[in-house]
Amino acid sequence: MTDVYDDIRQQLFTLCKYQNLLARPVVVRARVLTAEEAIGNPEADDFPLQKGKERLMQAEFSGAIGQAFTDQYGDFEGILEDVLELNFENNFRRAVFVATLNAVLRSMNQIDKTVHCRDQGPDQCAFELVSHLKARYGLVKIAQIGFQPRMLESLASEFPLRVLDLDPDNIGTLKFQVTIEGPENTEEAIDWADLLLVTGTTLVNGTLGSFLGRKPLVFYGISVAGAAHLMNWDRFCAKST
């Protein structure tokens, strides 16, 4: 995992050095968004954001916004060089880096879709995801890493599906006729699956290395926007802005 972060960090450093950003006294802020600020008012109430399990960290850089999901959240203020020098010893620091990465690349117009979708966006995204995966991969067995309720609801009736999550409140529960499994089943689920559908939050919580290079992989969500661009990873995030 460290090698992946070092690669991403080095690419960002090179870009920022080329753009003469490292020496500029740029202030980077990351703040925690409430559930309503982050996703508006969807009709369902089963998103992790709404249950207080995760928050969105929001970084602002040169007028651009980047976000990242995390379960360890707080404020950070410094310059871009400070962020590039962070070690990644916990989820908070990784979230600061990932949100900032997204904001910086957004400011360079290298990426878009760095702000979480709102209101009916999650429903629409999940509907489009089914068509996207069918067109690209066919009827495959999918291991979904991370409980995203609207995606699970849409996928469960269309594909053979297993879902893994880290939240003990979800593990063992039946959601849309699929039993949510814990991380101890990761290797078995990967072996079973034809395709891995992986939340970008794995970039923040340090579990990403378990999934890279194993099976065809599609990331979803806003957290992984910048890293997917730099590392040429496949990402689906249809309704973010």
Q: Which of 136, 115, 127, 104 is nearest to 229 (CA)?
A: 104
Does residue 15 carry a pLDDT above 90? yes
Alpha helix ranges (H) inside the chain? 2-18, 35-39, 80-84, 91-107, 121-137, 149-156, 186-192, 202-205, 225-231
- pLDDT single digits (tens) 155-173: 999 999 999 999 999 999 9
Does residue 27 carry a pLDDT above 70? no
Residue 169, domain member (yes or no): yes
Distance (Å) of CA 169 to CA 52, 97, 145, 166:
12, 28, 16, 9
Residue 99, domain member (yes or no): yes
Q: Are residues 146 and 190 in the same domain?
A: yes
Tokens at 55, concatenated: 């928050």
Q: Are residues 93 and 125 in the same domain?
A: no
Does residue 32 carry a pLDDT above 60? no
Q: Are residues 35 and 61 in the same domain?
A: yes
Angle, helices 2-18/91-107, rounded to nearest 10 degrees: 30
Range of the domain at 73: 2-107
Angle, helices 121-137/149-156, rounded to nearest 10 degrees: 40
Domain boundary (107, 132, 159) is at 107
Residue 113, domain member (yes or no): no
pLDDT of res. 24: 55
Residue 95, domain member (yes or no): yes
The CATH number of the domain holding residue 159 is: 3.40.50.11590
Angle, CA 229 vertex, CA 146 and CA 72 arms, to 5°: 40
Q: Are residues 93 and 163 in the same domain?
A: no
pLDDT of res. 28: 52
Domain boundary (82, 107, 132) is at 107
pLDDT of res. 40: 56
Q: Are residues 69 and 162 in the same domain?
A: no
Residue 74, domain member (yes or no): yes
Residue 116, domain member (yes or no): no
- pLDDT single digits (tens) 93-150: 999 999 999 999 999 999 999 998 877 878 899 899 999 999 999 999 999 999 999 9
pLDDT of res. 36: 59
State the CB neighbour count (10 A cutoff) for residue 189. Answer: 19
Does residue 69 carry a pLDDT above 80? yes
State the CB neighbour count (10 A cutoff) for residue 107. Answer: 20
| Strand 28-33, strand 55-61: pairing | antiparallel
pLDDT of res. 99: 93
Does residue 33 carry a pLDDT above 90? no
Distance (Å) of CA 192 to CA 76, 142, 183, 186:
41, 9, 15, 10
Residue 73, domain member (yes or no): yes
Domain boundary (85, 107, 129) is at 107
Residue 241, domain member (yes or no): no
Q: Are residues 126 and 201 in the same domain?
A: yes
Q: Are residues 99 and 135 in the same domain?
A: no
Tell me how many domains the chain contains.
2
pLDDT of res. 75: 86
State the CB neighbour count (10 A cutoff) for residue 122. Answer: 24
The pLDDT confidence band at residue 50, using thresholds 50, 70 and 90, is very low
